[in-house]
Amino acid sequence: MHTKSSLALALASALAAPVATAAEQSAHSLSGNVGLYSQYIFRGLAQTDGDPALQGGFDYSHASGFYLGTWASNISWLRDFGSYSSGGSMEWDFYGGYKGSFGKSDLGFDIGLLQYYYPGNTAAGVTKADTLELYGALSWKWLSAKYSHSLDNKTFGVSDSRGTWYLDLSASFPITDQLSIDAHWGKQKFKGTSGGVSNDSQASYEDWKLGVSYALPKDFSIGAYYTDTSMTAAQEGFYTTPAGAGSRFLGRDAFVVYLKKSF
């Protein structure tokens, strides 16, 4: 009996060892995504002037809740405004933070830093659009609320704008296991002054979007949404490109379709 018990314990230990190793490895995960969009809309503003955008990124996460990631997309708005003399055709983001849930509830939280980086050289007298934001978010099932606070004094190239913030309220309501209705409302609030004019009066606005998304096999998904902004005439002027480059209003309503792959 003693010999059989020892053999059983030894066998159990041998089988348990690989399980422990797998558990340790599962504490780290790496994921990615790539998508093709009919155009890139950021906070209600056209980033590619109606042209398609190829976007993608990678994310590392730890079982403890800490994560790091990067994401990139082609853009054109910096060149459309004549802000960059070279480059200015890419947005490259870097972010990291900590996320988790409150106990065993469906209420989650997320806090972190996000750096928007726009490679290239600015035109004479123009400030780079690079921006660092601190963000915090709460989520419950298919609802989420996120607050982003600028730590830069030149938020997306706007002078004297430290403390500028953006509030994002979003929902992705599941109709079936594959189909969801997506809704969003956001408020961009600028601080400070530019050229003696209040940034709030000329640059602050609200945006919204409504759409659907559908999950396909092999981690593909497709979707479509309609987006628009509510701006005054003064704000429309602030977000309109110079006439010499072909005057275009970046906050106009838009319809976007996309195909995305996660891996």
Per-residue pLDDT tens digits for 129-139 = 999 999 999 99
Dist CA 122 CA 83 (whole Å): 6
Q: What is the pLDDT of residue 247?
A: 87
Is 246 domain-assigned? yes
pLDDT at 8 over 60: no
| Ranges of H-type helices in 60-153 | 77-80
The mean pLDDT value for 187-192 works out to: 97
Tell me what the pLDDT averaged over the chain comes to: 91
Q: Is the dihedral of CA 153, 44, 186, 220 positive or negative?
A: negative
**Tell me, what CATH number does 68's domain have?**
2.40.160.40
Q: Which of 146, 145, 144 is nearest to 133 (CA)?
A: 146
d(CA 21, CA 16): 9
Is there a domain that residue 9 lies in?
A: no
- In a domain, residue 19? The reply is no
Q: What is the pLDDT of residue 131?
A: 98
CA pseudo-torsion sign 219, 169, 70, 41:
positive
Tell me whether residue 24 is in a domain. Answer: no
Whether residue 13 is predicted with pLDDT greater than 70 in this model: the reply is no
Q: Model pTM?
A: 0.89
**pLDDT at position 257:** 98
Domain of residue 222 covers 29-262
Q: Answer whether residue 2 is part of any domain.
A: no
SS3 content of the chain, % helix, strand, coil (to 5): 20, 55, 30
- Split at pLDDT 50, 70, 90, the class of 195 is confident
Look up tokens 């690079």; give the residue: 130
- 64 within a domain of the structure (yes/no): yes
DSSP state of 247: -
Nearest CA to 209 out of 224, 226, 222, 223 is that of 226
pLDDT tens, residue by residue, 69-119: 999 999 999 999 999 999 999 999 999 999 999 998 999 999 999 999 999
SS3 14: helix
Structural domain contains residue 6 = no
Which has the closest alpha carbon to 57: 67, 66, 47, 65?
Answer: 67
pLDDT for 21: 52
- Can you list the pairs that 99-103 forms with residues at least 24 positions away whose Cβ atoms lie under 8 Å? 99/65, 99/67, 100/65
Mean pLDDT of 211-220: 98
Of residues 205, 202, 200, 201, the one with CA closest to residue 188: 205
Number of domains comprising the chain: 1
